[in-house]
Structure 1
Amino acid sequence: MSEAIENLSVILLTLRRKLAVVAAVLVAGVALSFQFTGPLIERMKEDLLPEGAKLVYVSPLEVMMLKLKLSFIIGILLALPLIAFYAYRALSRRFSFKNPIKIGKSHFLLLGVAALVMFVLGASYAYFLMLPLFLEYLYLSAADSGVTATYSIFKFISFAAAGTALFGLIFELPIVLTFLTRSGFIQYRTLVTYRKHIYVVFFFIGAVITPPDVFSQVMVAVPMIIFFEISMVVVRVLGVKHKVSQPDPSSVSRASERS
């Protein structure tokens, strides 16, 4: 575990040096996507707002802040591939004395396409299946209690956007964990040892990003657990456990004799 923390510090140091490039991509993504946030909000209202529910804004700047938040989420998603590339370069240099991963341009292209496909699948699951189901469930629960559902537009759209982006990233788990284990950054046995702790983290994430009811938390946490287990199977099949190369004893003895 201490080795993983040390490797993480190397990645963070590399990202700090490349912070200007990452920030430029982030700012450009925010500026460009801001132009399209208005139609995006309208689309999300039509697709996700339960029939009979209403959206209101409770402060003069609420809609503007919502557009900025959506733009920031999109900017982060656009900057993530660059961050992942810098992290990969840091790992490659870090493990240069081991068995570094040999990835050509064709492999990078395949990896990028696979990552994009998995993100789209995860976002589609959240947007077209998970969110409509439990937003409708929450609305019906309120209606049965005789309460009129009136949502803050900022909180409603922010919740939907965050959930969609989160599940897009969750569906990347098989690719990410396979890469990390093949690089030696994380060992398979470490994932097995901390499996229960990871489950707790998933339920904590579900509790943070959803309303305080068990159904919503389960709808978020269970797909995370399922994809984590899928990732574990993929890692077990494809993960290469690199070991630190041990020096040849004869060469060590010869070096000591010279000294």
Structure 2
Amino acid sequence: MMDQVDQRYIGEKEEEVHKEMSFVDHLEELRWHIIRAVGSIVVFATAAFLAKGFVFHDIILGPSRPDFLSYRLLCRLGQQIGSSALCIDKLGFTIQSREMSGQLTMHIMASLIIGLACAFPYAFWEIWRFIRPGLYSQERKSSEGAVFFVSILFAMGLCFGYFLVAPISINFLAGYQVDPSITNQFDLSSYVSTLTTLCLACAFMFEMPVVVFFLTKAGLVTPEFMKLYRRHAIIVILVIAAIITPPDVISQMMVGLPLLLLYEVSIGVSSHIRKSDIKRLNKENTTNNGL
């Protein structure tokens, strides 16, 4: 039995030595992974640039019109509960471009942002392909499905920001007036910046469970630590929600509550990883003692 363990250990070491690469080789491999990741972003950005009408009219400017899906669903909800306050018939603002190159610049920037959002799963997969061989076999096993969960959480956060947070925030800002004589005429760059900030911020913040997973595996975070500083985390989450959303309570709560839920889910993820690691270590110690 001891000989078998020694042979397996030697075999793994020989495999690791065989797979060792020089620093320059690692840089070369990383360069090609980055090139392919950036290339995927450029491909999707080019497609978005060419589909100008659909991208701007249906996607980017969608939340600026009363016929947007989220507004129609809110109106149906209002009809079900007998309240007409949820029906949005008109958004009190207009969008304009006050710079000669403003529309072209925003066309390029919006295309790049959409390219990043669409290519994110593939780009992450490319980076993960570079990182994964450097992990131990147990770490590779425990991190299976990382690309899938990262992509799913990113898509969920992006949809949450686009269909829920952004429309309500835009509606609030559109209807806010300090005096009836002042009309809201938003610049195109301001509108696109607000929309993309809300959507991408939600998308990346939804990655909290995955980040906690890797921090727990690295021994930097424990479930006890997260439980101990739960109150501090709540304050931080509320501050983040206040920064990325307009200054209204509804938008802040719409972002803050899902983040608080994700924090609790992250505690569960950390606890599960901690228990799995303890169980594995106990099993290895039992095996070693038996040998």
When normalised by structure 2's length, the TM-score is: 0.61
Aligned partner of 2:12 in structure 1 is none
Aligned partner of 2:266 in structure 1 is 231
**Residues 48 and 115 of structure 2 are in contact (CA less than 8 Å); yes or no, is this contact kept in structure 1?**
no
Aligned partner of 1:3 in structure 2 is none
- The 3 A distance-change label for structure 1 pair 71 and 81 is farther
- The 3 A distance-change label for structure 1 pair 203 and 84 is farther
Aligned partner of 2:288 in structure 1 is none
Aligned partner of 1:48 in structure 2 is 63
Aligned partner of 1:172 in structure 2 is 207
Aligned partner of 1:18 in structure 2 is 30
Higher relative contact order (CA 8 A, sep 6+): 1
Aligned partner of 1:60 in structure 2 is 100
**Residues 157 and 203 of structure 2 are in contact (CA less than 8 Å); yes or no, is this contact kept in structure 1?**
yes
Aligned partner of 1:133 in structure 2 is 168
Give, in angstroms, the shift of residue 103 of structure 1.
Answer: 4.7
- 5+ long unaligned stretches in structure 1: 1-13, 249-259
1:103-118 to 2 correspondences below 5 Å: 103=142, 107-108=144-145, 111-118=146-153
Matches of 1:187 and 1:74 in 2, distance apart? 36
**Residues 119 and 171 of structure 1 are in contact (CA less than 8 Å); yes or no, is this contact kept in structure 2?**
yes
Q: 1:82 aligns with which of 123, 126, 147?
A: 126
1:207-239 residue CA offsets vs partner (Å, 9 max, x unmatched)? 433334454444333322221122212322344
User: Is the aligned partner of 1:119 residue 2:154?
Assistant: yes
Read off the aligned partner of 2:167 and give its amino acid letter.
P
**Residues 48 and 135 of structure 1 are in contact (CA less than 8 Å); yes or no, is this contact kept in structure 2?**
yes
Aligned partner of 2:48 in structure 1 is 36
1:162-198 residue CA offsets vs partner (Å, 9 max, x unmatched)? 3222222222322332343235353333434444444
Give, in angstroms, the shift of residue 56 of structure 1.
Answer: 0.7
When normalised by structure 1's length, the TM-score is: 0.68
**Residues 63 and 153 of structure 1 are in contact (CA less than 8 Å); yes or no, is this contact kept in structure 2?**
yes
Aligned partner of 1:100 in structure 2 is 139
Give, in angstroms, the shift of residue 48 of structure 1.
Answer: 0.6
1:115-156 residue CA offsets vs partner (Å, 9 max, x unmatched)? 333322222221112211222122222387443221111121
**Residues 234 and 260 of structure 2 are in contact (CA less than 8 Å); yes or no, is this contact kept in structure 1?**
yes
Identity %: 22
Structure 1 segments (4+ residues) deviating >6 Å: 14-17
CA RMSD of aligned residues (A): 3.7
Matches of 1:116 and 1:41 in 2, distance apart? 24
- The 3 A distance-change label for structure 1 pair 178 and 239 is farther
Q: Report the secondary structure of 1:150's partner residue.
A: strand
Aligned partner of 1:153 in structure 2 is 188
**Residues 44 and 157 of structure 1 are in contact (CA less than 8 Å); yes or no, is this contact kept in structure 2?**
no
Read off the aligned partner of 2:210 and give its amino acid letter.
I
Aligned partner of 1:255 in structure 2 is none
Aligned partner of 2:109 in structure 1 is 69
1:80-121 residue CA offsets vs partner (Å, 9 max, x unmatched)? 34334545555x25xx8xx634258xx43xx43333333222
**Residues 120 and 168 of structure 1 are in contact (CA less than 8 Å); yes or no, is this contact kept in structure 2?**
yes
